[in-house]
Structure 1
């Protein structure tokens, strides 16, 4: 594989989503924290399927997350845990980790070294009367890694993805610098 230009989406996939997140899980054993990163990565993968700018400030996050589950082969097995379901992964994993730093009721995080649940990815059980979905971080990460080549082949229609990850200092002089603007009225 040719050297990847720092700051591109392909660089992000190889460096952050595959290598660094893999180190976080396998070497640093930061299993719990890895779920806080994997949720937004799933959302990013699903962003290739809408017509909005990647940098939109509209409420598209849930739709992007669930588009990834519905359309990417390695993530389809999570589809039964989409919006409105008892174990809605957007609500219980991604939203919980982003807003309160913990999964919401109905989902439990673990890792393969867990002697009880480490081999039970996507199985359900009851704990203190609550039905919960078991997520094993190494298995979810493997499914995300498997999704990346699929999304690379599908992203041709989403022209602003590379620009979203680009460090403006690395852009050629003739390239437009991506900016986000907001206005305040009143």
Structure 2
């Protein structure tokens, strides 16, 4: 029987949109997983359903913060170069297909979702920076044990040592 070519345009019915999203999401997640395994790439895929529910896929069971940290380490010039390349590629794809890029523009709700996600990620980044500063402080005290003045600092250092030892032993297994 074969498949017929679908014209790509926004579905008007909310129910049809949600059904199509649910079916295609599974295929898209499968392709993302295959890409991450085959090419050994760090991949983060964030999708919002038509009802606004987010779905997040991160390759290789990595933490989102690790993927975002790699992105944040890119210079502004590198990010702009990648953005330009992506835009050029999308224009080429649109030129060779029936897809109308205006059907995929951000509306007000999408812009609010992006803004909310940005704030959420900034909060997570701030928390991670705070944890990193705490760990650096602990390591600094290990380098200069003569600067340790009270028992609480020694207890913190001991707990850190125990965590490190347990994590190291688990990594060896």
Same fold (TM over 0.5): no
- Structure with higher helix content: 2
Higher relative contact order (CA 8 A, sep 6+): 1
TM-score calculated relative to the size of structure 2: 0.22
Structure showing greater Rg: 2
TM-score calculated relative to the size of structure 1: 0.21
